Amino acid sequence: MTRPLIDLRTTPHGGRSLFAIQPIARGTVIFACEVPFGHVIYKDYRREVCAQCFAYAASTSRNIGDPRTWSIRSCRATAETVWFCTDECKVIWESGVIGPLIADVNALLGKGKIATRSKSARDGYDPILPNGPPAQITQDCIDQAWVDVEDLVSSRARLSSYCSTMNLEDMELEISRLVASAIVQRYVFDHRLANLAVSSIIPTSDPWAEVLDLQSSELSNVSLRPYILAAHLRVYAFLCHSLPKHLRLYVPTARNILARDTGNAFGIWDGDSRDEMLGWGLWVGASYFNHSCCPNVEKTRVGRAMHFTTSRSVEIGEELCISYIDTNQSITQRKQDLENSWFFTCQCQRCQSEEPDEASPH
Ligand SMILES: [Zn+2]
Ligand SMILES: [Zn+2]
């Protein structure tokens, strides 16, 4: 049996992180996360991105004038139409459970969406937060807003009446689709769990437990962007209203997903050039990697999977880090990006060495 290369440990500065427990050569795939626990491909890209492997039509066309959308598709009456790069991808997708179920749910969400509104209207009146976001954001006022929305969704009549006049932003619909895809995965996992229990096989890990293990950024996120609170509440009400009964059971956990999306999600990019972000996803195990501006691990999306490869040789005991941001940026820009989206101040070696040191004589 080969000895494991890496180990997940609790760090002195809090949180968990992956460490090398053997010397690791450069170019070693140390970890792979096979599928995202939840994902969404932006509406505008759906014909251009393979529903199975996320291949982007425009980046694979070699000649100018080649089609920039895929032509193979799956269309069932109950489901949203999705596109594939090859027949092989279509067969894999159709033989799976999760993909078709997500397409069914997305069809429902598409139908349930009443209207969209422009960003400029985001601070306008919305009965979900009648007085707008609270002036002083505290955990208590966020909790209270969630108690209020629970109250709203507990009455089907009031929920229907609210949703019939609800204005859901395009981005809120995308967020709804992401949360719904995670709910579908949880549903499928739970039902397989039931089958597995019969054959008395104990599953090694529960992906939903892993989601809950991720760090919540709810308070930091809402404090920085107060409009997010109303957006999340609208997504929640919309999902309660639109999802079929067997999935509605899981909607109460949507808050857990929403609280962990920012700070744990990875963009689905068109390729290494990262010119266009096609959507985003939550690859749960991937979130164990901490950030460094001089990382020793590179992440690469391979189809639906996220692969983590050492970008240099690593010694025993070294922390394994990826970069969450564009490391070609200046220290100021890097710090700002990390503070805005990951809510921490980077203390990596590179940041410490680049930081202007007031005590230094020059
Ligand atoms: Zn494909
Ligand atoms: Zn840094």
pLDDT digits 0-9 by tens, 117-168? 544 444 456 778 877 778 889 999 999 999 999 999 999 999 998 888 887 8
Question: Which positions ≥6 away from 349 have C-beta within 8 Å?
Answer: 292, 294
Q: How far is the CA of 342 from the centre of ligand 1 (A)?
A: 31
Q: Are residues 83 and 127 in the same domain?
A: yes
Name residues with Cβ closer than 5 Å to ligand 2, which is an ion: 293, 346, 348, 351
Q: Are residues 223 and 329 in the same domain?
A: no
Q: Are residues 11 and 83 in the same domain?
A: no
**Is the pLDDT assigned to residue 57 strictly greater than 80?**
yes
Name residues with Cβ closer than 5 Å to ligand 1, which is an ion: 50, 52-53, 55, 85, 89
Name 310's bridge partners.
297
How far apart (Å, rounded) are the C-alpha atoms in residues 298 and 257? Answer: 25
Domain count within the chain: 2
So what's the pLDDT on residue 207? 79
So what's the pLDDT on residue 199? 36
Q: Are residues 242 and 319 in the same domain?
A: no
Q: Is 36 helix (H, G, I), strand (E, B) or coil?
A: coil
Q: What CATH number has the domain bearing residue 318?
A: 2.170.270.10
Q: How far is the CA of 57 from the centre of ligand 2 (A)?
A: 35
Residue range(s) defining the domain that contains residue 24: 6-34+283-354
**Is the pLDDT assigned to residue 235 strictly greater than 80?**
yes
**Is the pLDDT assigned to residue 298 strictly greater than 90?**
yes
Nearest ligand to residue 92 Cα: 1
Q: Are 313 and 25 in contact (CB under 8 A)?
A: yes
So what's the pLDDT on residue 61? 57
Number of CB atoms found within 10 A of residue 243's CB: 23
Residue 270's nearest CA partner among 279, 258, 257, 261 is 279
291 lies in a domain?
Answer: yes
Amino acid making up residue 299: K
Q: How far is the CA of 345 from the centre of ligand 2 (A)?
A: 8
233 lies in a domain?
Answer: yes
Q: Are residues 201 and 122 in the same domain?
A: yes
Question: Which positions ≥6 away from 222 have C-beta within 8 Å?
Answer: 133, 137, 142, 228, 229
Q: How far is the CA of 339 from the centre of ligand 2 (A)?
A: 11
Q: Are residues 101 and 120 in the same domain?
A: yes
247 lies in a domain?
Answer: yes
Q: Are residues 51 and 120 in the same domain?
A: yes
Q: Are 70 and 47 in contact (CB under 8 A)?
A: yes
Q: Are residues 151 and 222 in the same domain?
A: yes
Name 32's bridge partners.
307
Q: How far is the CA of 205 from the centre of ligand 2 (A)?
A: 32
Q: Are residues 43 and 77 in the same domain?
A: yes
So what's the pLDDT on residue 66? 61
So what's the pLDDT on residue 312? 97
So what's the pLDDT on residue 79? 92
Q: Are residues 152 and 289 in the same domain?
A: no
